[in-house]
Amino acid sequence: MKSICNRFGALLVVASCLCISGAAMGQAGAVVVWGANTFGESTIPPNLGLCKAISCGGDWVGGHTAVIKLDGTVACWGANQNNQLNIPPELGACIKISAGWYHTLVIDVTNHVQSWGVTPPMPTDLGVCTEIAAGYLHSLAINASGIVRAWGNNDRAQCNVPQNLGSCKAISASYYWSMALTTSGNVQTWGHNESGQQNVPSDLGTCIGIAAGSSHAAAIQSNGNVKAWGTNNTLGQLNVPDSLGPCIQIAAGVYHTVALQTNGLVVVWGYNASGQSTVPTNLGHCTSISAGGDHSAAIQVLPSITGVLPISGPSSGNTNITITGTNFEASATVTIGGAPATNVVVVSDTQITATTPAGFPGPAVVTVNLGSSTAFYYRPSCGSDVDNNGVVDSADLGIVLLDFGNCSESLTTPQEQEPLILQAVELPTSVLNKK
């Protein structure tokens, strides 16, 4: 990045960003995908923007990735041999999403299920639903009464929901079998059991999360510990790391397992021929995870900057500043105008102190870098309606720098109409002429 230069020594700060089954909308963040990319399933579309939910689908020969963006609209990419990427043109905003092997499921804002790809007709009496899960050629949903419904291919009894199952709060669907978590925390399975994935450990106890892989299962116990069972196939999908801490989310691919710890860090184990079990070194903290056939994905914690004080200083640097915001981490670094700040101290997850470097006269971009997530304090650029919601607002984080000379469109809210230069400080002629 480059700084914008004019006759002032103010700090200008602008924003930019990088771009689970039945994943629900949560905290918005940047999407990161790794592993197999034969069909582009790990290639994030340009200008994707922030997302609130992500789900990876696919088998050994092709996968796809589906997300719910900040405005509730859906985006899909990757393999499309069975039309699993063909989002219905009439589809509106959605709140949950699940990518299967050859189809995609969503719950829209009316709490009804919609699907596309290789998917049989849904039950006409399905009604309002709270959870969904897309498997190989079958689908699951939990209706408003907590009852699990299943439809689609049933040649291994994967749609034969146990009559005594009772009320449920979570579901997961895989190759030829299904999994549910009752409201009391008990794990139940049905369908194909050739690999022992239905042999729930007798000491499992109550759980808070479940995941169904192709030939293995995983669950998070009430104390946060992860247990896995089924077939290991010498690939290690059952080999829960001894160092794994308490977890809050679990996801299972064909032969690998992904866990999100309570500290926000992602851990993956199992088959790694396509790099699906190699967590990116700059991934940082995350809010959700997903596992596909041979790829994995996560939504990163989004750091944000809400203020910088003081808001101006001499181009010679050595000004002590305090940066306030959210989701700061101990590993954070700070740059101002592209140059590293010194004496950076992460006081808390909401405050950083630092000393400005020397720079050229003019506004300078203040950044907080957390791995591959970067927060910028900002004012939106005119004409940058990144999320296409009709206004240029704080959701439009795909912005680089403001162009003072070519900004002809008016911004839309009082906050966005604040001066782009937060404080004008006239500098001596000797400083202004510095090159």
> In order of start, what are the domains of the chain with their CATH numbers?
23-300 (2.130.10.30), 304-432 (2.60.40.10)
Residue 396: the pLDDT is: 44
Measured distance CA(251)–CA(218) in Å, rounded: 8
Q: Give residue 354's pLDDT band: very low, low, confident or very high (50, 70, 90).
A: very high
Helix (H, G, I), strand (E, B) or coil at 373: strand
User: What is the distance between the alpha carbons of residues 216 and 195, in angstroms, rounded to a whole number?
Assistant: 7
Residue 359 pLDDT greater than 90, yes or no: no
| Across 122-132, average pLDDT | 97
Q: How far apart are CA 143 and CA 147, in angstroms?
A: 5
Share of the chain above pLDDT 70, in %: 77
> In 3D, which of 285, 363, 355 has the Cα closest to residue 317?
355
Name the 3-class secondary structure at 391: coil
Least confident of 18-27, 89-98, 147-156, 270-279: 18-27
CA distances from 51 to 19, 24, 211, 256, 391 (A): 9, 11, 22, 24, 18
Asked whether the beta carbons of 178 and 138 are under 8 A apart, the reply is yes
Backbone angles phi, psi at 137, to 5 degrees: -130, 25
pLDDT tens profile 68-94: 998 999 999 999 989 999 999 999 999
Residue 25 scores a pLDDT above 90: no
What are the distances in angstroms from CA 140 to CA 135, 168, 212?
A: 8, 12, 13
How far apart (Å, rounded) are the C-alpha atoms in residues 252 and 271? 11
Backbone dihedral region of 72: left (phi > 0), alpha (psi from -120 to 50 degrees) or beta? left
What is the distance between the alpha carbons of residues 269 and 259, in angstroms, rounded to a whole number? 9
* Residue-level pLDDT at 398: 34
Cβ contact 253:283 at 8 Å: no
Give the separation between CA 297 and CA 40, rounded to whole angstroms: 13
| Cα–Cα nearest to 261, from 297, 220, 200, 302 | 220
What's the pLDDT band for 387 if we cut at 50, 70, 90?
low
Q: Which residues partner with 68 through β-bridges?
A: 53, 74
Give the model's confidence band at 381: pLDDT under 50 very low, under 70 low, under 90 confident, else very high: very low
pLDDT at 355 over 70: yes
